[in-house]
Amino acid sequence: MENGSATESYLNSQINDSESSEISSDKAKPVDNIKEYDLQSIDQKVFLLIKENNDLLKKIKDDIDVKIAVDETKDKAFNKLYDELKEAKEKDNIKDSAIRPLLGDLLLFYDSLIKFKSKIETNNKNDEMLLKETDFILDELLEIFYRQNIEIIPENSDRTYDSKIQKAVKIEKNQEIDDNKIIKIIRSGFLWKDKMLRPQEVCVNKHN
């Protein structure tokens, strides 16, 4: 009786172990399925991230290409404008070199008219008609100067000699007058396009 009971107990334990193994196996299957699903989801997310990054990189590259193209266009336009301005400046320099002698002759004509007017005022005070005609010619000449961007150098407000715009053609020594003061403007000076055309000729007082 005892042997039969032991055998029966052994068989029951084997059956229970087998059932426990099957139950454990059944429980493990859903876990494996969940892990597999998670891996697929992660793969998809990684793929999407890589695709998004590739799209972003492509957009950045396209933007850079566009900027490079725009910059090249700007550089070409700037270089063309620079060349045109340089060529125009060279032409202006050639033109200025050609016209400068003519302007010098006009300045001499102006000097002659000023002297002539001074003589009229000194010797022919009653000849108003001649004086008016002379003033008319001077006004016309000054209008020509204006159209050619020629300006008369104004007299210094403090009458101090300025070597940048004036030329001392006569020196006087008078201790009663401040040193380096202009005593008299002998001949008018002119600027042309803001550059020196002819300095103002003056008489300057010097103590030494």
Place of tokens 């029966």: 8
Sheet containing strand 190-192, edge to edge, reads: 150-152, 190-192, 195-198
Q: Beta strands of the chain (E only): which ranges?
A: 150-152, 166-172, 182-187, 190-192, 195-198, 200-205
Phi, psi values for residue 182, rounded to 5° = -80, 125
pLDDT at 45: 72
**Residue 153: closest CA among 191, 100, 207:** 191
For residue 149, the tally of other CB atoms under 10 A from its CB is 12
pLDDT at 26: 47
pLDDT band for position 138 (50/70/90)? very high
Q: What is the pTM of this model?
A: 0.55
Average pLDDT of the chain, as a whole number:
79
Alpha-carbon distance of 166 to 88, in angstroms, equals 31
26-41 pLDDT, tens digit per residue, is 444 444 454 555 656 7
Mean pLDDT over 109-121 rounds to 91
177-191 pLDDT, tens digit per residue, is 999 999 999 999 999
